[in-house]
Structure 1
């Protein structure tokens, strides 16, 4: 028995040594690739505007009577490339805009807390400096749903509709606890470890499978450069405060189109329906796909959005 334990111990030690060597090699390789491919994550696909003394990335495409503003989910490294499958199918009729908040995509990582009032102020200023005028059809994914709701409450004249891509709702009471949970903190540390060691290079971040080879290279470098940075982590610290702020005011009543994923709990679905029922023209669709609904059901969603946005005219 002792001999068997010794053999098992040696095997485990050997595996740990191999893992340590692998991580060291990956970390060195990752640093080499980040330096080699610096232009890929430093050369914006859109334009940069100065906000609070830092560069914020704004991407625009197409023209039309309506302006759709895409707002990324939490820790989506490259919003411009993430939303591309959907906005490519909308820019033939509308002006589409992708905001990359500080810490995301080609925007700078900045100092300071990332409370939602600050994020909203900076996003509005970036749009103004880019010459993109309201009103907007806000199209938030995931946690950006809180910003979109706050935007609608504080500046209703700037928002003509909201299209939620499995967006977060302030009336989902478990959201703040989840964002502050131990499991979330563990996930953050795992993501950071995977970024620093370069393990993220082994994953495919192109969920839609529609990006070109060059776009995939850009996405990989942004993922390995920006994932779970301090700006992104800081947003979690302010979810409870913004939920309290939103819930202290009436829910928005503007037209809304909402998409849910197959990962939503009953309470999340209930929160979405409560939000939608307040709308003058609210619709909810449950999709049989994961949380990044726009990367899986972009054909369906783009078709629905065209019908929905065109209905706003009359």
Structure 2
């Protein structure tokens, strides 16, 4: 091999080593920046959680359930009682229902229950099966000395509620669903990225995502103080271990309830989102449900899944009219 060729090979090798070294420095810099970013995000989240926790104002009262504290908000003093239950993952149920509660409480005693893991209630390590959730809610109702009531709820309450009314048929006067789940609705066996959801929350990335996404309550009729409190509580409880376990049991809870129906003699009123583009069977599924009741009625409403955020006046008005009809 001649000298010129040897020199050329050495130059090429030197260039390649320099390129590799440059790329390693770039990759190392990116990884270092990412680690620093994640570290800052985590620390900011921990500090913010500590500061924000002190800003959360208590509301309602605690009842002792299974040796833990469950938060309950009671408003109004009407002769009839409404027990109000949230949709899955609602951070602060009592505040989330505030607009509707304000409309109902002049005529009814409204009891908004925050299940374990929600709002100001304790978390629990007990599995989030329908049986356990229903039992805990019922224990809270018993602790409050309530023996006859309307069961009303949003979303996932449609799943837990059909089990509840069959378990305690002598207590529930009527069931009212606000875009409530149907036990046999399709697609509930999907595997959710639970570990990723928990990582986003614990790492502080969820806080950052929410920050850049804007205020979800901005265009709604809540007062500014309530909006602030809901955001503070959301940062504390979203994707906590109790909520994650509830999502873990979502598929099996639906599977176990797919053949459950409302008792024929139980009045059932369902407010249903009429513009659900993701599930074309949403209206037909609820139409089948109301047929299970001798006094079943479905009222379609255009809006988001959280109908009680924008249609609270209409829901309250239709509910009061319905209760007069069945009495």
TM-score, normalised relative to structure 1: 0.84
- Name 2:271's counterpart in structure 1: 259
- The 1:237/1:33 distance shift into structure 2, 3 A limit, reads closer
- Name 1:189's counterpart in structure 2: 196
Residues 1:301 and 2:315 are matched in the alignment: yes
- The 1:192/1:67 distance shift into structure 2, 3 A limit, reads farther
- The 1:136/1:52 distance shift into structure 2, 3 A limit, reads same
Residues 1:39 and 2:54 are matched in the alignment: yes
- Name 1:164's counterpart in structure 2: 177
CA contact (8 A) 1:258 1:276 kept: yes
- Name 2:223's counterpart in structure 1: 212
**Structure 2: which 5+ runs fail to align?**
1-25
CA contact (8 A) 1:77 1:222 kept: yes
Residues 1:116 and 2:124 are matched in the alignment: no
- The 1:279/1:16 distance shift into structure 2, 3 A limit, reads farther
Q: Structure 1: how far apart are the matches of 2:231 and 2:41? A: 14
Map 1:1-314 onto structure 2 (within 5 A).
24-41=39-56, 43-131=57-145, 133-175=146-188, 177-178=189-190, 181=191, 184-185=192-193, 189-190=196-197, 192-194=199-201, 196-197=203-204, 198-199=207-208, 200-202=210-212, 203-206=214-217, 209-253=220-264, 254-261=266-273, 262-263=275-276, 265-313=279-327
- The 1:14/1:118 distance shift into structure 2, 3 A limit, reads same
Q: Structure 2: how far apart are the matches of 1:155 and 1:208? A: 39
- The 1:94/1:24 distance shift into structure 2, 3 A limit, reads same
1:311: how far off?
Answer: 2.5
1:24: how far off?
Answer: 4.7
Q: Structure 2: how far apart are the matches of 1:23 and 1:298? A: 41
The CA deviation string for residues 32-89 of structure 1, in whole angstroms up to 9 with x for no partner, is 2221232334x43100111111111011100112211111111111101111111111
- The 1:266/1:18 distance shift into structure 2, 3 A limit, reads same
- The 1:65/1:192 distance shift into structure 2, 3 A limit, reads farther
The CA deviation string for residues 1-20 of structure 1, in whole angstroms up to 9 with x for no partner, is xxxxxxxxxx9999998887
Tell me which structure has the larger Cα radius of gyration. Answer: 2
Q: Structure 2: how far apart are the matches of 1:12 and 1:270? A: 54
Q: Structure 1: how far apart are the matches of 2:290 and 2:30? A: 53
Aligned length: 296
**Structure 1: which 5+ runs fail to align?**
1-10
Secondary structure of the 1:294 match is helix
- Name 2:15's counterpart in structure 1: none
TM-score, normalised relative to structure 2: 0.81
1:128: how far off?
Answer: 1.5
1:153: how far off?
Answer: 1.0
Q: Structure 2: how far apart are the matches of 1:293 and 1:150? A: 23
- The 1:18/1:63 distance shift into structure 2, 3 A limit, reads farther
Q: Structure 2: how far apart are the matches of 1:75 and 1:19? A: 30
The CA deviation string for residues 147-169 of structure 1, in whole angstroms up to 9 with x for no partner, is 11101111111111111111111
1:205: how far off?
Answer: 3.7
